Amino acid sequence: MNKNNSIKKTYIQEEGMSDLWNVWYSELHNGQSGLTIKVDRIIESTQSEFQRIDILDTKDFGKMLVLYGSLMVCDNDNNAYNEMLAHVPLSVHPSPKQVVIIGGGDCGTLTEVLKYPDVSTCTMCEIDEKVVEISKRHFPQLTTGLDDSRANLLFSDGKKFLEETEKRFDIALLDLSDPIGPAADLFQKSFHQTVFDRLNDDGIMVAQSESPFYNKETVQAMYKNLKEIFPIVRMYLCFMPIYPSGFWSFAFCSKKYDPLDDFDANSFDHTVMKTKYYNAEIHKSAFGLPQFVSELID
Ligand code: SPD
């Protein structure tokens, strides 16, 4: 993977000011540019066995969850990332009964998956229990899925779980942080092959695949590998204001179903599902790629 892609993030406190009202969250995406957000309050900061975890309160984005200095979710992003990760494959697969999420600690993706009555079990394998515990307290709107009896929560290494399980899945969702730290192995070809092997013959995997603007080398390597494993690999995009470049990608990898040919626009009713970002029009348009992105992965 992209070993030169160093991502540096620091908290900056304005010089000469000591109270918390003058704290800025600053996330550098490539050492040269990034995102800076005024912090109203540092609500909670802790260190889990795996990473530093911060909960920050801000005016524009509401509460934000920051893992190892990288912004993961917030109150005001219209739930774009979680909805796009979950609804695109779930609207394409005709009978998604067994779903597995690798990662997904904030539980936003789990909650979206469980909006589908066809799903019998959604297994979520998250390595860091502390992220789930903190998300339950600070992001109740994301964690309602935990109360659903179809949710099967495991705190374990996702790679180990999939290597050892005898279960087979219809849909696998790789709801991962960046390819550094605990999630690095889960961007490797060998892991994607393991996921492929655990999917049913008509299974779909969707993986978050970083920013085509900032993470070109990661994206390129990832899609090259995925195309050597899955017969159908398509990128789709969403607008995520809190992620690097605000322009985020997902890899739709499938054994059988095409994300557009096998999508019935009439079958998705956003008033029943109550989404904020995803709808049938977004599903179709998300697969239209800018020329520079197409060329990156072709
Ligand atoms: N740079 C942040 C990228 C994070 C992508 N995944 C977030 C997972 C949240 N469930």
Q: Which residues contact 186 (CB under 8 A, 6 or more apart)?
A: 102, 103, 158, 159, 174, 176, 179
Asked if 161 and 186 sit in the same domain, the reply is: yes
Domain endpoint, select from 54, 74, 94: 74
Report how far residue 9's alpha carbon sits from residue 177's, in angstroms, rounded to the nearest whole number: 14
236 within ligand 1 shell (Cβ under 6 A): no
3-state helix, strand, coil in the chain (%, to 5): 35, 30, 35
Q: How far is CA 274 from CA 18, 268, 270, 277, in A?
A: 43, 11, 5, 9
pLDDT, position 270: 74
Told to judge if 128 belongs to the known catalytic residues of this protein, a careful annotator would answer: no
Question: Model-level pTM?
Answer: 0.93
Domain endpoint, select from 59, 74, 89: 74
179 within ligand 1 shell (Cβ under 6 A): no
Task: Name the residue at shortest CA distance from atom 6 of ligand 1.
Answer: 177
Mark the ranges of the chain whose per-residue pLDDT is less than 70: 1-21
Q: Which residues contact 298 (CB under 8 A, 6 or more apart)?
A: none
pLDDT, position 268: 84
Report how far residue 244's alpha carbon sits from residue 135's, in angstroms, rounded to the nearest whole number: 22
- DSSP string for residues in 68-89: TTEEEEETTSTTHHHHHHHHHH
pLDDT, position 269: 83
Q: Which atom of ligand 1 is nearest to the CA of 244?
A: 1
pLDDT, position 13: 53
Domain ranges, residue 56: 3-74
Domain count, the chain: 2
Identify the active-site residue in 157, 175, 185, 269.
Answer: 175
Q: Give 20's Cβ-side CA count (13 Å radius).
A: 9
Residue 136 Cα to ligand 1 midpoint, Å, equals: 17
**Residues in a beta bridge with 175:** 103
Task: Name the residue at shortest CA distance from atom 5 of ligand 1.
Answer: 177
Asked if 12 and 121 sit in the same domain, the reply is: no
106 within ligand 1 shell (Cβ under 6 A): yes
- DSSP string for residues in 124-152: EEES-HHHHHHHHHH-TTT-GGGGSTTEE
Asked if 155 and 275 sit in the same domain, the reply is: yes
Residue 177 Cα to ligand 1 midpoint, Å, equals: 4
Q: The domain that contains 46 carries what CATH number?
A: 2.30.140.10
pLDDT digits (tens, 9 = 90+) for 163-210: 999 999 999 999 999 998 778 999 999 999 999 999 999 999 999 999
